[in-house]
């Protein structure tokens, strides 16, 4: 039997398929039901309004959205913050701006590595001479 501490409440529980104890799982399910019920009655609610009305943290609501449990299709004003800059988004983990910046940074890093490789090969190959080469034949 695999026994662990619940990361949410700290209680010891027998871990099977979930990483949380049964009490915390029931609590999360109750929070989910509160969110769904509120959204059925208030389709235009934002994540802030939903959190304030239900007492469920914005972080937990974001988890529900990312898990696909709360549909963004039926809640047009429901957005959650980009993990990098905090701009409201409706899908993924990053906004388009941060995603583009990350892609540019990766591209620049790859270019830098290619340039370093070319420079390293040029100095160690037959194209460059060092001071030692100048005095070698004397």
Q: How do residues 97-121 score in pLDDT, each as one tens digit? A: 999 999 999 999 888 888 888 777 7
pLDDT digits (tens, 9 = 90+) for 38-90: 999 999 999 999 999 999 999 999 999 988 899 888 888 889 889 999 999 98
Distance CA 42, CA 49 (A): 10
In this structure, the number of other CB atoms found within 10 A of the CB of residue 61 comes to 23
Distance CA 88, CA 107 (A): 26
Give yes or no for residue 1 having a pLDDT over 80: no
Give yes or no for residue 126 having a pLDDT over 70: no
Residue 55 CB contacts under 8 Å (≥ 6 apart), including other chains: 34
pLDDT at position 71 is 86
| Residue 4, SS3 per DSSP | strand
Q: What are phi and psi of 41, to 5 degrees?
A: -85, -25
């Amino acid at each position: 039997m695999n026994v662990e501490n619940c990361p949410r409440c700290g209680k010891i529980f027998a871990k099977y398929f979930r990483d949380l104890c049964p009490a915390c799982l029931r609590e999360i399910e109750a929070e989910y039901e509160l969110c769904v019920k509120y959204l059925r009655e208030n389709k235009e609610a934002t994540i802030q309004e939903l959190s304030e009305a239900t007492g469920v943290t914005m972080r937990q609501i974001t988890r529900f959205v990312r898990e696909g449990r709360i549909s963004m299709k039926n809640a047009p004003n429901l957005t959650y913050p980009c993990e990098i800059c905090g701009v409201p988004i409706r899908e993924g983990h990053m906004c388009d701006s941060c995603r583009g910046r990350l892609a540019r940074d990766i591209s620049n890093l790859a270019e830098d590595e290619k340039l370093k490789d070319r420079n390293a090969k040029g100095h160690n190959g037959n194209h460059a001479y060092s001071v030692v080469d100048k005095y070698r034949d004397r």
